[in-house]
Structure 1
């Protein structure tokens, strides 16, 4: 009798683990991304598909960012999805853009208009 209950418990645990393993890939978590330096920042809010850029240093230069998209379907092509900048006014600037799933891949870039390095995210998709 104890053996029967043990077998039922083991089989039940195996079934539950399998169901969780099958269901997990369908749960996609939002992933926000931020690029920043001493002059400002650019943030992507994945839950609402909004990009925000902020110039945080009153040095006479603004900050600029863009989103590049590469489509890797039957024909591969790349494009700049949008470009956004901030500087010289109060507050931050925002733009909405629907980031899509594979075969679309995206890379967010951010730079200070006074020169220096461009910061980039890894390639991502929704």
Structure 2
């Protein structure tokens, strides 16, 4: 019975270590990132110097654009941190978010006129 408990504990520790390595391996080094909507409708941009995100509606078509920032922690739990809308005014809407090294992040952007959301291809951090 003690061997069984030790074996289970070792399996849990091994799985946790594999998850941390997997999260670290999938993260990319810090740099600016951008994802674009089809037909040049808009985009979401991460500016690494200052950790500022921009969401930009680039067409005056009566629809706006929303961007979201997602986070996944070392335990593998993924959640949405926030959303940011742009549309109906000049310029892009911006939001600062301190991107650290303990979690990984992914961007999502969608057009309010329909169609699928666009996601950043990889998780990233600093």
Q: TM-score, normalised by structure 1?
A: 0.70
Query: How many residue pairs align between the two structures?
Result: 95
Give 2:124's aligned residue.
124
Q: CA RMSD in A?
A: 1.3
Alpha-carbon distance, 1:36 to partner: 1.2
Structure-2 residue corresponding to 1:108: 107
Cα deviation, residue 91, structure 1? 1.3
Find the structure with the greater CA-based Rg. Answer: 1
The C-alpha deviation readout for 1:40-87, integer Å capped at 9, x for no partner, is 1111001110001111101110001101001114xx422211110100
Match of 1:81 in 2: 81
Match of 1:46 among 28, 36, 48: 48
Superposition deviation, residue 30 in structure 1: 4.0
Runs of 4+ in 1 over 3 A off after TM superposition: none
Q: CA deviation at 1:117?
A: 1.7
Q: 1:65 maps to what in 2? A: 67
Query: Does the 8 Å CA contact 1:30/1:47 hold for their aligned counterparts?
Result: no
Structure 1 residue ranges without an equivalent (≥5): 1-28
Gaps of 5+ in 2: 1-28
**Given the two structures, how large is their TM-score scaled by the length of structure 2?**
0.70
